[in-house]
């Protein structure tokens, strides 16, 4: 089975869902998040490796990528509903365009929804790193006498969701080379955005990994809803 066929396998979606479950369980039962985050925080100077207010870094890792993802989504939407000759010129499949657009729309929406319901705080907000609330994992309970006055809104990683959603571009063409490139692009941009958030204390590793694996679940689910792909050359 070719690499491109693996994404169309009926096992792809269950395996992605299983990977998401494994990530959740592993980080719930360990202190990997805190162990890594300790390396990214200067306890003596009480500051993170990266200053989130530094304008150049914020442009390159935060605002710039967000704008680029938005422009990409707008372009794909135009191709989806525009004249057929646009798609033919680029050799883009309309089914694939629909999957890509839906992935770019729903993954950030799901990440935002998760933030509103999970009640998880960012690293910079917990006492270990100079914040005001105790550290509690995703499924943990806050002590009765130490409950935060407000809810946390930090899980999963929302900023990186736009970058990871670019893996939906895999479906524009069925060739192995295209899918490999689109996959690498989505992972690279997702970690570019998510890594920056970790370095400035805005997210834990688990937040970014959950968003990444959720991206695979979302795009594979939409691909299944869209139906089988058209036959394409294996190149």
Which pLDDT tens digit goes with each residue over 4-19? 567 778 899 999 999 9
Mean of pLDDT values over 135-149? 91
Which pLDDT belongs to residue 4? Answer: 52
Peptide bond into 156 cis (omega under 30): yes
In residues, how long is the chain? 235
Q: How confident is the model at residue 137 (pLDDT cuts 50, 70, 90)?
A: very high
3-state secondary structure of 48: strand
CA-to-CA distance for 86 and 200, rounded, in angstroms? 41
| Predicted confidence (pLDDT) at residue 141 exceeds the cutoff of 80 | yes
Do residues 210 and 155 touch, judged by C-beta distance below 8 A?
yes
Chain-wide mean pLDDT for the chain? 93
The whole-number pLDDT of residue 230 equals: 60
Please name the residue that has the structure tokens 């200053």.
51
Nearest-10 crossing angle of helices 205-226, 32-39: 120
Distance CA 160, CA 120 (A): 17
């Amino acid at each position: 089975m070719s690499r491109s066929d693996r994404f169309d396998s009926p096992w792809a979606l269950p395996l992605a869902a299983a990977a998401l479950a494994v990530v959740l369980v592993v980080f719930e039962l360990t202190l990997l998040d805190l162990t890594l985050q300790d390396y990214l925080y200067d306890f003596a100077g009480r500051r993170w490796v990266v200053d989130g207010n530094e304008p150049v870094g914020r442009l390159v890792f935060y605002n710039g990528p967000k704008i680029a993802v938005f422009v990409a989504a707008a372009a794909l939407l135009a191709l989806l509903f525009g004249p057929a000759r646009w798609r033919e010129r680029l050799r883009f499949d309309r089914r694939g365009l629909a999957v890509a657009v839906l992935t770019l729309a729903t993954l950030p929406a799901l990440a935002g929804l998760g933030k509103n319901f999970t009640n998880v705080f960012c690293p910079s907000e917990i006492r270990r790193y100079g914040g005001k609330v105790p550290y509690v994992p995703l499924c943990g309970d806050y002590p009765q006498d130490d409950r935060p006055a407000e809810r946390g809104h930090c899980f999963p990683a929302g900023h990186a969701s736009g970058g990871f959603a670019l893996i939906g571009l895999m479906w524009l063409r069925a060739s192995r080379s295209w899918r490999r490139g689109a996959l690498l692009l989505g992972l690279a941009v997702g970690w570019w955005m998510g890594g920056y958030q970790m370095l400035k204390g805005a997210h834990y590793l688990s937040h970014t990994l959950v968003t990444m694996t959720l991206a695979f679940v979302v795009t594979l689910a939409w691909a299944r809803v869209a139906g089988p792909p058209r036959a394409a050359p294996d190149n």
